[in-house]
Structure 1
Amino acid sequence: MLKSKFYFLIPTLLVLISGMATTVNAQKKTAEGIKPELKIQKNLTDDQLLDLVQKQTFRYFWDFAHPVSGMARERSNVAFEYGNEVVTTGGTGFGIMATIVASERKFITREQAAARTKKIVDFLWKADMFHGAFPHWLNGETGKTIRFSPKDDGADIVETSFLFQGLLTARQYYTADNATERDIRNKILWMWEGIEWNWFTQNQNVLYWHWSPNNGWSMNHQIRGYNECLITYILAASAPKYAIDKKVYHEGWAMSNTFFNGKKFNDITLPLGFDGGGPLFFSHYSYLGLDPRGLKDKYADYWEQNKNHTLINRAYCIENPKNYKGYSAKSWGLTASDSWQGYAAHSPAEDLGVITPTAALSAFPYTPEYSMQALRHFYEDMGDQLWTEYGFADAFSEQHKWVAKSHLAIDQGPIIVMIENYRSGLLWKLFMSSPEVQIGLKKLGFSTPTIK
């Protein structure tokens, strides 16, 4: 039932392998560029190492951003029929949140952060949208839709929700009384008000993922849980003008044969979702802004859900039933990423011997001790293979003697954001302070300590 990272990928991504990919030349360093630190330093404190990882990973969104739009490029390499102009809406939402982190951590100034965010918002304001929703991919120069698959050439409300999780967080952050930050807030509000979430129900009690001006509803993809799309329903319920009814959440999202679980895996109970938990990005994407601490509804405690999902994933890697080389208590993390045979949604149910650093690193809020073990292993023990100018390579397999020659916006962004949520809760505080989000959560029956 998923698409944003794997299940409905176009064939060119499925056949992407390192031998077919050619690195896109990074933009020339400008006065506002961030110098990469490529020499491995083995005497860093935990805080120094976290600073370094956040700062260098942020270069993907800062130095490698599309020069015209400021948006995040889909990935750092290209393959057959996959051009340099492709920017990603969801990944840009993650990058907008990463830019707030960079501002607060003084990697860049607040003025630089606001100027880049305004550049993105101004571009989106003029870009293709459909009933207020954006497509998965845009041309970063023209703002025109680049189709994700033959019939996916219009609105994608899941990617739109990832984008607006970032934009609403930015609206809560850029509160200064100056022309730049006022314009950011105003345009975000106007675009937010214009998304016709209820139209994407087709008058049924479920959301539909896609609509195309050329193909209509022909993809016919209902969004049902449990997966990465919880934020889509929460934003749809929070919308100021075109909100969904609570029945759409309870009868659509929560009524699925992949919603409830309750089984034990490695003696750890999984409340919701696929057996084994599925890829770890389920516990990241919706929770970059949505604070899972104390977040509950009648179906689950979402902190328990995400922590247990992470622990199950790590325990599987330690158990290593397929005896892959390199799996251990300090080398773990299965989630969707590039692999030695193409793009795959790595999980206990689809284990190809590939470890993806974003899986363990974006889990810092849930498993800080275990995530730090993994971080030190990736950086100190394997840094000569994995550490690059944009942070860690997307994935690696010791079994197959393979390291990705790529970085993906949707993998790099959560590393920065979730490490920051572990360190300060910054993005959680900002997003949860949105009055509309609080209204939407109440409407759907959620309780959380952050609701006033």
Structure 2
Amino acid sequence: MKKLALTGIAALTIISCTTTSSTTQNTSQNKTVGDNISDNQLMDKVQKDALKYFWDYSEPNSKLGRERYHEDNIYPDNDKHVITTGGSGFGLATILVGVERGFIPRKEAVKRLTTMMDFLAKADRHKGAWSHWINGETGKTVPFGKKDNGGDLVETAFLTTGIIQVREYFKNGNAEEKALAKKCDELWKGIQWNWYTKGGEKVLYWHWSPEYQWEMNFPLQGYNECLITYILAASSPTYSIDAETYEKGWTRNGTYLSDKEKYGLPMFVKHNGAEEYGGPLFWAHYSYIGLDPTNLSDKLIKNYFDLNKNQVLIDYKYCVENPKQWKGYGENYWGLTAGYSRNKDGGVGYDAHFPQNDHGVITPTAALSSFPYTPKESMDFLRFMYTQKPEFIGSAGPYDATSIHYDNWTTPRYLAIDQGTIAPMIENYRTGFLWKLFMNAPEIKQGLKKLNFKSEKYNIK
């Protein structure tokens, strides 16, 4: 499902499914972990579990990430080979975590990653960008919507972050690894970022279609999850944008700043359509799989880490306050973001959860992917899930949607775009591994300098 960077989140349409609420049928996976398990063992476990989504349940031909995987086997047959571009980018990062931690063999990973890059090189591209969904058997664009049948620049950005991380990880390796890195480099250089300014407007656009051209008409303006798109577009060695496009487009000429606070925490920016509490928590995750917010600043934001940390803490404090009195909400059970949801009839839908759109559904990726910002609160959630709520855990980690309020309702299903941020963001908390790969890429450093970002950690001045 698409994580919409809405100018007004309230306009989000819930995508309904015809299924009813259910709990997992795979009871062998649902044994409670002992209370004596250490924090490091718990982080290892959830990282290994999330890796299974992209290693064991990948699309068979392309080896990229499926849009969804349902343990209850309820999804349309034609979805089995639908791969998701952005989720696959998070999957690349997840696989690198698996290699670095010894969860999967390096040689096997190189072979699989090579298959992925070869597939992406032959798949449909639209001025270098990939579509939101791609058929994993044919490489053809699968329309996300009637007019959304061309390039998706934001999903392409999430994918490209992973591609650059793969390149950086293997570029000094053996001959096979260097060949993989070269394939990654060629894919990255083929994306025509500046095309997506619609003829030179000082803003990037999300979509372009050969059939419908610019009819989707969705400019990327802050603040939401799309910052990384501007970073990559400015960093491109072949089709880059200038700093003015970032300033006029993303920052809206600086007007996206906010002096509002919630729970005594400054928000710093206006969250599109969610200015009171901040948006869904994936806004603090997607751009930051590679972009290290630690003491990162630009002309307008003094510290991106504080921006993200405050957004997460506001969400956390809202759940602890629990103004709607949902059963279960509290210090061990919190986190609102987009994902599967519970419809009024008890069936499964999709929604962008955040404090102003709270339906009693907790999405585990929200707290788990927030580890860099809220390590204690995220660990409390992780420990609670694995030691107290085995019914919420499946073969690839916590299920996408849960609700204690509705009699421990869950749905035994996963989405790539949610499961894919868990292992990378936990690893960034533990070691900064993926941040270092991305931030030390030469083009990224140059792009950040172009946009007047500063980071002493990476010698960006």
TM-score w.r.t. length of structure 2 = 0.91
Distance verdict in 2 for CA 1:375–1:22, change over 3 Å: closer
Task: Measure the CA separation in 2 of the matches of 1:254 and 1:189.
Answer: 29
State the partner residue of 2:114: 118
Distance verdict in 2 for CA 1:3–1:95, change over 3 Å: closer
The alpha-carbon deviation at position 109 of structure 1 amounts to: 1.2
Please give the residue correspondences for 1:221-240 in structure 2 after superposition, counting only pairs within 5 Å: 221-240=218-237
The alpha-carbon deviation at position 3 of structure 1 amounts to: 5.5
Which residue identity is paired with 1:41?
V
Q: State which of 108, 128, 133 in structure 2 corresponds to 1:137.
A: 133
Q: State which of 368, 371, 378 in structure 2 corresponds to 1:371.
A: 378
The alpha-carbon deviation at position 258 of structure 1 amounts to: 8.0
State the partner residue of 1:441: 448
Which residue identity is paired with 1:253?
W
- Structure 2 residue 44 is matched with structure 1 residue 41: no
Superimposed CA distance per residue, residues 315-353 of structure 1 (whole angstroms, 9 cap, x where no aligned partner):
000111111111101110000011111111100111111
1:17–1:340 CA contact under 8 A, matched in 2: no
2:23–2:410 CA contact under 8 A, matched in 1: no
Superimposed CA distance per residue, residues 69-111 of structure 1 (whole angstroms, 9 cap, x where no aligned partner):
0000011135458621110111111010111100011111111
Please give the residue correspondences for 1:173-322 in structure 2 after superposition, counting only pairs within 5 Å: 173-202=169-198, 203-255=200-252, 259-274=256-271, 275=275, 276-300=277-301, 301-322=303-324
Cα RMSD between the aligned structures? 2.4
- Structure 2 residue 148 is matched with structure 1 residue 152: yes
State the partner residue of 1:32: none
Distance verdict in 2 for CA 1:82–1:228, change over 3 Å: farther
Which residue identity is paired with 2:270?
G
Distance verdict in 2 for CA 1:7–1:166, change over 3 Å: same
2:234–2:451 CA contact under 8 A, matched in 1: yes
The alpha-carbon deviation at position 189 of structure 1 amounts to: 1.2
1:12–1:81 CA contact under 8 A, matched in 2: no
Task: Measure the CA separation in 1 of the matches of 2:14 and 2:235.
Answer: 34
Please give the residue correspondences for 1:286-365 in structure 2 after superposition, counting only pairs within 5 Å: 286-300=287-301, 301-341=303-343, 342-365=349-372
Which residue identity is paired with 2:161?
Q
Task: Measure the CA separation in 1 of the matches of 2:253 and 2:359.
Answer: 27
Task: Measure the CA separation in 1 of the matches of 2:338 and 2:443.
Answer: 31
The alpha-carbon deviation at position 7 of structure 1 amounts to: 5.1
The alpha-carbon deviation at position 113 of structure 1 amounts to: 1.4
Runs of 5+ in structure 2 lacking a partner?
A: 344-348
Task: Measure the CA separation in 2 of the matches of 1:97 and 1:198.
Answer: 26
State, as a whole percentage, how many aligned pairs show the same letter.
48
Q: State which of 55, 59, 83 in structure 2 corresponds to 1:62.
A: 55
Task: Measure the CA separation in 2 of the matches of 1:168 and 1:246.
Answer: 22
1:264–1:270 CA contact under 8 A, matched in 2: yes
The alpha-carbon deviation at position 112 of structure 1 amounts to: 1.3
What secondary structure sits across from 2:380 in the alignment? helix
Task: Measure the CA separation in 1 of the matches of 2:299 and 2:446.
Answer: 17
Distance verdict in 2 for CA 1:210–1:442, change over 3 Å: same
Task: Measure the CA separation in 2 of the matches of 1:257 and 1:375.
Answer: 38
Which residue identity is paired with 2:403?
S
Task: Measure the CA separation in 1 of the matches of 2:13 and 2:335.
Answer: 25
Superimposed CA distance per residue, residues 284-324 of structure 1 (whole angstroms, 9 cap, x where no aligned partner):
00000100101111221200000000100000001111111
Aligned residues: 440
What secondary structure sits across from 1:143 in the alignment? coil
Distance verdict in 2 for CA 1:177–1:351, change over 3 Å: closer
Task: Measure the CA separation in 1 of the matches of 2:93 and 2:357.
Answer: 30
What secondary structure sits across from 2:83 in the alignment? strand
1:226–1:273 CA contact under 8 A, matched in 2: yes
Worse overlay, 98-107 or 260-269 = 260-269
State the partner residue of 1:392: 398
Distance verdict in 2 for CA 1:116–1:80, change over 3 Å: closer
Task: Measure the CA separation in 1 of the matches of 2:22 and 2:251.
Answer: 40
Task: Measure the CA separation in 2 of the matches of 1:408 and 1:449.
Answer: 36
Task: Measure the CA separation in 1 of the matches of 2:197 and 2:65.
Answer: 29
Which residue identity is paired with 1:293?
T
2:29–2:393 CA contact under 8 A, matched in 1: no
What secondary structure sits across from 1:338 in the alignment? strand
Which residue identity is paired with 2:3?
S
Task: Measure the CA separation in 1 of the matches of 2:31 and 2:23.
Answer: 24
Distance verdict in 2 for CA 1:13–1:349, change over 3 Å: closer
The alpha-carbon deviation at position 177 of structure 1 amounts to: 4.2
The alpha-carbon deviation at position 376 of structure 1 amounts to: 0.8
- Structure 2 residue 443 is matched with structure 1 residue 450: no
The alpha-carbon deviation at position 57 of structure 1 amounts to: 1.2
Task: Measure the CA separation in 1 of the matches of 2:321 and 2:68.
Answer: 32
2:13–2:351 CA contact under 8 A, matched in 1: no
Which residue identity is paired with 1:291?
D
